[in-house]
A = this chain, B = another copy of it.
Amino acid sequence: MTEMKLIFLGTAGAVPTENRGLSSLAIVRGNELLIFDTGEGMQMRFIKSKIGMNKKMKIFITHMHGDHCIGLLGLLQTLSIMGRQKPIDIYGEPNLRKFIMQNIKIINFKLNYRIIIHTVTKEGIIVKEKEYKITCCLAEHSKLNYSFCLEEFNRPGIFYVQKVKNLGVPEGKKYSYLQHGKDIMFKGKKLISTEFTGPPRPGRKIGISGDTRPTSKLEKFFQNCDILVFEATFSDKETEKAKKSYHSTASEAAILAKKSNSKKLILTHFSARYKKIEKMASEAKQFFKNVFIANDLDIISIPYSN
């Protein structure tokens, strides 16, 4: 069972505050680190969080607004200075490549490791690993914004060890076959995998909005998320501002969380105008009970749903 946790490395929208840095979220999944957005200054909280510099790493940029991407340059440089040698895969819209390559040229910095920039030009699967995939979906913002989902594949069901043992099957390969859905022959009899395992256990699904209006397309995209991290730049009073600037209010995020049948909603990307974010939690809770307000350096563990 792979442990997974979210670490918030920046929860302010557009402008940082005394306590909130610009957008960044790290998902630590087993030995791998997946970073979504790299707002300016996220490397300081990355260092504070002691995540570690040498993990297998992928970075995803939702969109090319400064408060979501500028910190990438410093992060890459710091990882290099600190001795990283493993490559990093970076995903984002076409301007991301320009941003990285032109700045590397102008600021003239060298990296001790390889970066592989994956230009995202359409929706769908952008990463497929053994245990999970990452998909993207177009959001509705003032700039091209991709929302992301991390979806684990189903794990095999519970293995009824005792039942197999009782038949005298010796431990080893045969156990593994049965556990992973393969029927085997034992003493001339066919043992059917499904008779020795419970139903497949669903993987976890995490959704990350980036900056966007709530849309019915995103409702579908985020269907059944265990955790939905959604932007809540504005409070209800500023609904018109939210519309004009292609952002969401806390209530709008909550309605979307409900409609998408998500289990838990984490709000982030708060406008610097709000001193007390608790009010936004109350607004959201009118529509969706399981709301959490993200603060910088919060760590949220993600258990399996069963």
Which positions in A face B, CB cutoff 8 Å? Answer: 14-18, 21-22, 40-41, 43-44, 47-48, 64-67, 69-71, 73-74, 77-78, 81-82, 95, 98-99, 102-103, 106-109, 143
Compute how far the CA of A15 lies from the CA of B84 in the bound complex, rounded to whole angstroms: 14
A16-B78, A64-B106, A66-B77 known; 19 other A-B pairs, CB under 8 Å? A15-B81, A16-B47, A17-B47, A18-B48, A21-B44, A40-B40, A40-B43, A40-B71, A40-B73, A41-B41, A65-B107, A65-B108, A67-B77, A70-B73, A70-B74, A95-B106, A102-B106, A103-B103, A108-B143
**Smallest Cβ-Cβ distance to A78: which chain B residue:** B15
How far apart are A95's CB and chain B's nearest CB, in angstroms? 5
From A75, which residue of chain B is reached at the shortest CB distance? B40
Interface residues of A: mostly helix, strand, loop or mixed?
helix
**Cα distance A233–B15 in the bound complex, in angstroms:** 30
Q: Which chain B residues border A81 with CB–CB below 8 Å?
A: 14-15
Chain copies in the assembled complex: 2
- Contact of A74 with B107 at beta-carbon distance under 8 Å, contacts A41-B41, A43-B16, A81-B14 already known: no
- Nearest chain B residue, comparing its CB with the CB of A79: B15
Instruction: Select the residue from A44, A69, A108 with max chain B CB neighbours within 10 A.
Output: A44
Given contacts A16-B44, A71-B40, A81-B14, contact A64 B108 (CB under 8 A): yes
Give A64's nearest chain B residue, CB to CB.
Answer: B107
Is A18 within 8 A of B47, CB to CB? yes
Contacts of A82 in B (CB 8 A): 15
Q: Give me 26 A-to-B residue pairs in the complex whose CB atoms sit less than 8 angstroms apart, sorted by A's number.
A: A14-B78, A14-B81, A15-B81, A16-B43, A16-B47, A16-B78, A21-B44, A40-B41, A40-B43, A40-B71, A40-B73, A40-B74, A41-B44, A65-B109, A66-B77, A66-B107, A66-B109, A69-B107, A70-B70, A70-B73, A70-B107, A95-B106, A99-B103, A99-B107, A102-B102, A108-B143
A151 to chain B, nearest CB (A): 30
CB nearest to A68 among chain B residues: B107
A66 to chain B, nearest CB (A): 5
- Closest CB of chain B to A80's CB: distance in Å? 10
| Distance to closest chain B CB from A161 (angstroms) | 47
Complex Cα distance, B64 from A109, in Å, reads 10
